């Protein structure tokens, strides 16, 4: 049975951006998050952070959107960070800093961030409630956070069918087969994640429970909704 030992973020990293290139639901969520982030008022010299930033799809977009700010891309996996580094190099971004750190190793001063996001990463952390408290601590009062988390157990087959159907309509049979073959590792790692969720190794929650956890850390929620085909929760919050 798959366990946290068989899940490998490093292996996942090699194929992770197939999600960004082809998964319409990942692409939609990316648009939703960046639309929200695009509303931020970011002063010159601001520091923004993406916690559990993966291959940098969000942190790099933030660095592009806000050249006046520095974006901290924080993730513990070297493979994920290497993918982000390659893209950062191609984009020639000088305001994007990659920090290879576990979430419990992050040392940021209180009130030092002018905005933060964490997308589909909180559920993987050993103590999400503690991380939410730390995020609250790091954020300057009045500043926003976009917090998205996968709270429900993923039905991998259902997702494959939904994505396959979309690809068939968009690319036709041959290209769809190629993409699905290329994406096998993504499906395998997602099946491991599902198993860890089922075993209680990853945080699962209802929409209400996610909002409660965010409020318990001290945040004020501006608005919230479910997203990612109902599997995830999307919260826009601020430190009062």
Interaction site with ligand SAM (CB under 6 A): 9, 52-54, 57-58, 75-77, 80, 102-103, 119-121, 124-125
Q: In the bound complex, what is the minimum distance in angstroms from residue 173's beta carbon to ligand SAM?
A: 28
Nearer to ligand SAM, 179 or 193 (CB): 193
Spatial distance between the Cα atoms of 143 and 107, rounded to a whole number of angstroms: 19
Bridge pairing between strands 232-238 and 144-150: antiparallel
Token pair, residue 99, equals 């920090």
Q: What separation in angstroms does the CA of 17 have from each of 12, 182, 192?
A: 9, 11, 18
Q: In the complex with ligand SAM, which residue's Cβ is closer, 15 or 177?
A: 15
Question: Minimum CB separation from ligand SAM for residue 214, in Å?
Answer: 17
User: Minimum Å distance from CB 199 to ligand SAM?
Assistant: 16
Which is closer to ligand SAM, CB of 33 or CB of 47? 33
- Could you tell me the maximum CA-CA distance found in the chain, to the nearest angstrom? 53
Shortest reach from residue 172's CB to ligand SAM, in Å: 27
Closest CB 166 distance from ligand SAM, rounded Å = 19
DSSP tally for the chain: helices H, then strands E: 10, 7
Residues 146-156 as b/e (b if ≥16 CB within 10 A, e otherwise) read bbbbbbbebeb
- Encode 95-111 in three state secondary structure: CEEEEECCHHHCCCCCC
In the bound state with ligand SAM, the residue whose beta carbon lies nearer, of 69 and 80, is 80
Q: Which is nearer to ligand SAM, 3 or 68 (CB)?
A: 3
Rounded to whole angstroms, the Cα distance separating 171 from 179 reads 10
Residue 96 or 120: the one with the smaller Cβ distance to ligand SAM is: 120
CB of 231 to ligand SAM, least distance (A): 12
DSSP state for residue 173 in the 8-state scheme = H
Q: Which residue is nearest to ligand SAM (CB)?
A: 54
């Amino acid at each position: 049975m798959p366990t946290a030992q068989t899940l490998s973020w490093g292996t996942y990293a090699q194929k992770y951006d197939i999600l960004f290139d082809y998964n319409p639901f990942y692409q939609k969520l990316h648009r939703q998050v960046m639309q929200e982030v695009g509303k931020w008022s970011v002063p010159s010299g601001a520091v923004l952070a993406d916690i559990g930033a993966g291959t940098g799809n969000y942190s790099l977009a933030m660095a592009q959107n806000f050249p006046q700010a520095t974006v901290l891309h924080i993730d513990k996996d070297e493979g994920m960070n290497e993918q982000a580094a390659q893209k950062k190099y191609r984009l020639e971004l000088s305001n994007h800093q990659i920090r290879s750190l576990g979430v419990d190793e992050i040392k940021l001063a209180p009130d030092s961030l002018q905005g933060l996001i964490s997308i589909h990463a909180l559920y993987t952390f050993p103590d999400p409630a503690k991380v939410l408290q730390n995020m609250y601590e790091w954020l300057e009062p009045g500043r926003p956070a976009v917090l998205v988390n996968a709270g429900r157990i993923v039905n991998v087959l259902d997702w494959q069918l939904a994505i396959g159907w979309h690809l068939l309509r968009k690319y036709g049979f041959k290209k769809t087969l190629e993409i699905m073959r290329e994406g096998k590792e993504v499906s395998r790692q997602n099946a491991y994640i599902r198993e860890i969720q089922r075993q209680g190794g990853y945080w699962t929650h209802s929409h209400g429970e996610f909002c409660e956890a965010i409020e318990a850390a001290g945040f004020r929620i501006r608005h919230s909704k479910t997203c990612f085909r109902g599997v995830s929760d999307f919260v826009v919050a601020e430190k009062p």
